Amino acid sequence: MKRKLLSLLTAAGLCLGLTGYAGAASFPDVSDADTALAVEVLSGLGIVSGGSDGNYYPDQGLTRAQFCKLAVLAEGHGDQVSGSAYRTLFSDVSGSHWAASYINLACEEGLVSGYGNGTFGPDDPVTVGQAVTVVLRLLGYTTDQVGPFWPEDYMALGEQLGLLEGVSRDPDHALTRGEAALMLYALLGQSDSTGKDYIDNLCASKVENAVLLDADAQSGDGTEGIVEVYANQNLSWYEPAAELEGLTGSRGTLLLDQSGRVTGFLPDDTVRYTLIPESVTANRINGSYAVSSTTPVVVGDTLTTFGDCWYDLESCFQLTLYYNQSGNLELVAATERTTYEGVVLSGYYEDASPNTSTPETITLLGMELEVEESAVSSLSAFSVGDKITVALDGDGAVISAAAGGQTTLYGVLGEGQVELTCGLTAKGTVSGSAGAGDLVKVTSSGVGKLSVSQVSGGSSLDLSVSEETLGSVPLADNVRIYERAGTSVVTEIDLEDIQTATVQAADIDFYATDSNGLVSVLLLDNVTGNAYTYGLLTVGSKTESSSGMSYTNRTVSVENGDGTTQEYITGQSASDGAMGGIAVSSEGKAVSVVTLGEADHISQSAFESLDAVVIGGVRVPISDAAQGYNSDTERWVTLSQARAYSDTFTVYYSGTLGVDAVVRVLATE
């Protein structure tokens, strides 16, 4: 359900920024924006790091030993240092010296040299002239290419390449940690002496012109911490192998390792505007920003076009407009506002800062909550360990507190946490009879402890989709609707995903109402088909032994554009090689397996863009998660690529034509 959200901001229409980087600073002592960006990128790549106190200390100097380590890491050779350990190349760098392996490797690779008297001076300050020389050698430049005069020729070439932006031009100046970050960051954007992009040394592959939308997204199977990216007119999700939170919202180059995991992100210098929407029309935002109807728009994990959603954007918290190198608007990313007004939480008081007498923040249900001034007095009466109930304002801050009490909370269970239906995430040691991915009722059973139970109860009332009522009870504006297939894990759906006018009571597994008597939570049983993962089914078997007895179970997995799932044990029948779907339980079993309906020889003219296709005179919507399959190459592709490849298609759909059918796979013929 796409409902308009009320903005609590009074400065509607304000342009928040014209910028190429606006990520959250990971190191609070780095105030310069350029240095902050450099440190953020290099930290994500594992080249630089801060202290144990979370600071970077940009004004501190670096030693020659420390810069050797940075140089080795910056060329992607951190995995080679062990081969250079425990050797003595310089009299003042013993084999047991902490940096011996880095110094030795850098020397063997021709990046550094000693003083000529057999010493290296590992604790001497590294100068700008020495550092720029190392960086030019990383780029493959030789003395013949640079010039015979040191450090003058090296400084001149370094300045020409942009390596000294923000760095002292005095070659004898002791390089600071902040200047080192700027120099190494400039290195990443260079081509080496042969014309190859230097950044290729630090990745197995890369995705250019990518927008890093979220570094802590949730995948379709409920996995937390996934990286969400917009690139090549599609949304993609990747497993992270680096910390990227501070670069969220940037546009640039996504770096991947051999396993396809994200190892870093290199922002580019393109422009983006972040706006609070005041007025949105069919072709303009806030009267000043022209937008084409075909401009891609990302809202959460949904990719659509401006023409299909502009009327909903005015209610969003903010909009970010991304422009490419040519200055053309490439993407609009919408941030929906989450409001916690009216949310009431009960639990055990876990912590307070700076103290319980005048708390600025408190911890409840594993969540750190800011405290408004109006709540300080009531909170001061409680101690850590007390059971309390608090009310929140629209921003999620505590506005009042009372002793005891018990509120009913619902959410989706994860590993050591519950994603509550109110939008917050409760964390703690979980006990109870439910598994990850189940919709649960949750209570606080002690300090740092959560008690959960799987929801149950059913309904005697039908759901009217058009009237948005359960029986005669209206749905709340912020109702959360979930779906499962039998005993599978749940997935969240929108009301508009439901293709039928009415959902029968028998297909409603659970509902709950809020303090106003409105339906706030719904759990449906296989109404839309969205609880399944769709693709090409592979059926196999797995033989195991226990207590001297062997037994064989049927297994099933699904292959699609996101990869191949694990093999799940199932008691369901399945057709090997068929297009179908599986729904998996929290116990890791395929509790439901379906074979998709099939319609072949569907022509291009039957499609309404990528929104729907007409099959036998029936308009069938195409799922936002639908997969494309090239039958000639036997490879998974995007829907657009499939449409462009062939004139006719085989369309695979869930449900029943004319009732609730939805396209899940589009295969070329």
DSSP 509-570: EEEEE-TTS-EEEEEEESSSSTTSEEEEEEEEEEEEEETTEEEEEEEEEEEETTEEPPPEEE
- Cβ-contact 599, 616 below 8 angstroms: yes
The gap from C-alpha 67 to its chain's centroid, in whole angstroms, comes to 32
What's the pTM?
Answer: 0.59
* CA–CA gap between residue 80 and residue 76 (Å, rounded): 9
- Cα distances (Å, whole numbers) of residue 408 to 364, 404, 451, 520, 589: 15, 13, 12, 12, 30
* CA–CA gap between residue 208 and residue 189 (Å, rounded): 13
Is residue 363 assigned to a domain?
yes
Residue 514: count other Cβ atoms within 10 Å of its Cβ: 17
Is residue 216 assigned to a domain?
yes
Helix (H) or strand (E) holding 662: strand 662-668
Helix (H) or strand (E) holding 364: strand 361-364
Same domain, residue pair 71 and 169: yes
Is residue 467 assigned to a domain?
yes
The two structure tokens encoding residue 48: 């630089």
- Cβ-contact 39, 349 below 8 angstroms: no
Cβ partners under 8 Å of residue 49, min gap 6: 43
Is residue 10 assigned to a domain?
no
Sign of CA dihedral 128, 130, 132, 134: negative
Closest by Cα among 459, 392, 437, 373 to 585: 437
Same domain, residue pair 65 and 186: yes
Name the residue with tokens 């000639």: 632
The two structure tokens encoding residue 119: 């010493």
Name the residue with tokens 């297009």: 579
Is residue 25 assigned to a domain?
no
User: What is the pLDDT, as a whole number, of residue 217?
Assistant: 83
Domain closes at, from 199, 218, 247: 199
* CA–CA gap between residue 579 and residue 570 (Å, rounded): 17
Is residue 8 assigned to a domain?
no
Length of the chain: 669
Same domain, residue pair 414 and 470: no
Q: Look up the domain containing 554 and give its range.
A: 533-594
Same domain, residue pair 167 and 215: no
Question: Burial of 52 by CB count in 10 Å (0-12 exposed, 13-18 middle, 19+ buried)?
Answer: exposed
The two structure tokens encoding residue 653: 């759909």
* Pairing between β-strand 234-238 and β-strand 289-290 as defined by DSSP bridges: unpaired
Q: Count, in order, helices (H) and strands (E) of the chain.
A: 10, 44
Same domain, residue pair 569 and 605: no
* Pairing between β-strand 563-564 and β-strand 302-305 as defined by DSSP bridges: unpaired
Supply φ then ψ for residue 466, to 5 degrees. Answer: -70, -40
Is residue 9 assigned to a domain?
no
- Cα distances (Å, whole numbers) of residue 600 to 93, 512, 603: 72, 43, 9
Supply φ then ψ for residue 392, to 5 degrees. Answer: -110, 155
Helix (H) or strand (E) holding 108: helix 100-108
Supply φ then ψ for residue 558, to 5 degrees. Answer: -125, 135
- Cβ-contact 298, 213 below 8 angstroms: yes
Domain closes at, from 168, 199, 230: 199
| Overall number of domains in the chain | 7
Residues of the chain with pLDDT under 70: 1-26, 84-85, 219-223, 337-338
Same domain, residue pair 39 and 179: yes
Is residue 1 assigned to a domain?
no
Same domain, residue pair 556 and 637: no
Question: Burial of 646 by CB count in 10 Å (0-12 exposed, 13-18 middle, 19+ buried)?
Answer: middle
205-217, strands of its sheet edge to edge: 234-238, 226-231, 205-217, 251-256, 262-267
Same domain, residue pair 172 and 130: yes
Helix (H) or strand (E) holding 637: strand 635-637
Name the residue with tokens 């099933």: 556
**Cα 82-85-87 angle, rounded to 5 deg:** 155
AA letter at 576: D
Same domain, residue pair 590 and 601: no
- Cβ-contact 249, 17 below 8 angstroms: no
Same domain, residue pair 309 and 392: no
Domain closes at, from 267, 295, 320: 267
Same domain, residue pair 472 and 521: yes
Same domain, residue pair 439 and 567: no
The gap from C-alpha 321 to its chain's centroid, in whole angstroms, comes to 19
- Cβ-contact 393, 372 below 8 angstroms: yes
